[in-house]
Copies of this chain bind each other. A is one copy, B any other.
Amino acid sequence: MADLYAWPALATIAALLVYLATFILVGRMRHRHKVMAPSTDGPEEFKRAFRIQANTLEQLVPFLASLWLFAIYVSALWAAALGAIWVAGRIFYMVGYFRDPAKRGPGFVVAAATCITLLAGALIGVVCRLFVLH
């Protein structure tokens, strides 16, 4: 009698932990380089951390919405599996970008492709529910 939705819930928490890691990174860089609020400008290393966090938020919102629509209208387990890929992609993105912005590509593409897969699947699932199954 397992609750299948607990799997996308776990993927959600993993994604939030990745986001938390980007927050800790930008906080450390703000401190290391003495970037005083409200400034968000500073040395390259700070700007990378700042953009990693901002981009993770930009991607997190459509990811979470797509993940849950996919979970509800297609499959909770497949949603969670795709969610795990997204989380792995974003970890690669974060680590790659911080070392060298030119290396942010692969992780970004993996996560973005996963998100679009979730969104496309959710669209098909919702359309089927509305126009096919009743």
Interface, chain A (partner B; CB < 8 A) = 1-3, 6-7, 9-10, 12-13, 16-17, 19-20, 23, 36-40, 44, 47-48, 50-51, 53, 57-58, 60-62, 64-66, 69, 72-73, 97, 101, 104, 116, 119, 122-123, 126-127, 129-130, 134
Main secondary structure of the interface of A (DSSP, over half): helix
Which of chain B's residues have a CB closer than 8 A to the CB of A97?
Answer: 37-38
Determine whether the beta carbon of A130 is less than 8 Å from that of B19. Answer: no
5 CB < 8 A contacts A-B: A2-B130, A19-B62, A36-B101, A38-B97, A61-B61
Nearest neighbor of A39 in chain B, beta-carbon distance: B47
Are B16 and A62 neighbours in the complex by a CB distance under 8 Å?
yes
Tell me whether A12 and B48 are in contact (CB under 8 A): no
Query: Are B9 and A72 in contact, with the CB atoms below 8 A?
Result: yes
Give bound CA distance, A73 to B40, whole Å. 37
Q: Once the chains bind, are A66 and B130 in contact (CB under 8 Å)?
A: no
* Bound form: Cα–Cα A33–B6 in Å: 44
